[in-house]
Amino acid sequence: MSEDEGEARPGLISARLLAFMGEFGAGSIALAFAPSAAAMLAIAGAFLAFEACCLGLYGTTPLKSLLGLKVVREDGGPLRLWDGVLRTAAYLPSSLLWLGFLSALRREDGRAWHDRLAGTRVVESRERSELESTLLGAGSGVLTAALIMGWLWFAVGAGVYADWKKVTAARQAMRALSRMQEEHRLAFGRYSENISDLAYMTKDWEGFIAELNAVLDLDRDLEMQTGPQEYLIKARARDRRRTPVVVRGPQRALTR
């Protein structure tokens, strides 16, 4: 073990954060486009094998090297292949709510759970300027904020937005049924309680029913009530809350 390696400074936290998010972000994107579960397993296996081999053979990965980082054994010596495999496998417990990575912030040596489990530490592989350190800190802060916002979007926002779109589509479908009730009354002198009567007025009966059923639960929740001069249509959207949607008629503005 050389003196330089033994006295190497702990890797800059911001650089380590960028390296982790860059490497595992690329892996996550690849997994998102996997066509099957088997493909996901193959991609995950290839990614972990690449990570383990890079660490075990070279002590770094392409992105870590670019960011001026190197992984060494606890005593400062170079990693062996087994060390790379063990450290990569230790990412699993360390990734639990990111607790293993956050623990590095509380230690002087900056060692995360996976480093402590594998007997490794991340050190600076080169000198870095003050400007580079500042830029790395700003970049890691921006990327962390973006990841948090993205997580919140997928955990909460995406579902809310999807529900809103489904309810909006359901209301549009109800307005379409209202227009067809008015057209049915103009054609036959009465409103109809049968969805099939309205569907048969279209050029594509099956397509009309399929489009309606995509946004409304026609089998369980569609209710059509009619009188000589009025009608009421009740249904539920296909969102998670099964939001009730109602339309009453006549809709004078829709008559011809």
Q: Report the alpha-carbon distance of residue 222 to residue 140 in Å, rounded.
A: 52
| Amino acid 6: pLDDT | 47
pLDDT above 70 (res 177): yes
pLDDT of 1 higher than 50: no
The residue among 155 and 220 whose pLDDT is bigger is: 220
Is the pLDDT assigned to residue 151 strictly greater than 80? no
Q: Determine contact, residues 116/86, Cβ cutoff 8 Å.
A: no
Q: What is the pLDDT of residue 190?
A: 92
Residue 58: the pLDDT is 95
Of 11-15, 106-110, 141-145, minimum mean pLDDT range? 106-110
Q: Whole-number mean pLDDT of the chain?
A: 86
Q: Which residues contact 119 (CB under 8 A, 6 or more apart)?
A: 73, 74, 83, 86
pLDDT tens-digit profile of 46-75? 989 999 999 999 999 999 999 999 999 999
